[in-house]
Structure formats: structure tokens, C-alpha cells
Amino acid sequence: MVLKPDVLAAAVDSVADGRPILALTPRGKPLSQERVRELASGEGVILLCGRFEGFDERIFEARDIEAVSIGDYVLSGGELGAMVILDACVRLLPG
């Protein structure tokens, strides 16, 4: 199933507050340690996790959403990718 752009846009709009919005997708820009450092030093991030077919491309045209990939492979959903990003960021936080 593809996440419908109108439903996803409404969800994103309800929580968007200036934090970066990342969509986990194998078509996205590869996640780098530099980007992880930027995210860890920021005010937080909104992570969008697709399932199976991912996102309708219109959401990327309509909103400032960064497509991110955690590797050159495909998972059934973005939840594990979100955990990778969380783990990479949390280990950089002081204390």
C-alpha cells in the first residue's frame, strides 16, 4: 500500500513545527555520520515510516520532506530504519 498524500500531508501538518521531516525510503539520500551529527545536535526530527510500497511521490513535491536511506537494500517498512537513526543519534547525546 502506498501512503496517500492527502492523509500523510494532514498528519505531517499537524505536527510540523520546524523540525526536519525525514521519510525512510530506499530511494532516499544515503544517511551519513555527518547528517546524524546534525540531527543529534538539533531540536528533534519527525520520522515517516512507509510500509511495502512506500510513499506517493506527491508528498515530496508538496512538503519539505527529506527522503533518507539507511542502506542499499529494501525492508518491509521504515520502522527499523527509524530505529537505526534513533540509535545513531542517541549515542551522540551527552551523558
In DSSP notation, 52-91 reads TTEE-THHHHHS--EEEESSSS--SBSHHHHHHHHHHHHT
pLDDT category at 19 given cuts 50, 70, 90 is very high
Question: Into how many domains does the chain fold?
Answer: 1
Q: What was the pLDDT predicted at 63? A: 94
pTM of the model: 0.89
Tell me, rounded to whole angstroms, the distance of Cα 51 from its chain centroid.
13
In a domain? residue 58: yes
- Give the CATH number of the domain where residue 70 resides: 3.40.1280.10
In a domain? residue 49: yes
In a domain? residue 42: yes
In a domain? residue 63: yes
For 56-93, how does the pLDDT look when each residue is reduced to its tens digit (9 = 90+)?
A: 899 999 999 999 999 988 888 889 999 999 999 999 99
Which of the two residues, 44 and 74, has the higher pLDDT score? 44
**Domain carrying residue 17:** 2-90
Quick one: average pLDDT of 29-57?
A: 92
In a domain? residue 68: yes
In a domain? residue 95: no
In a domain? residue 19: yes
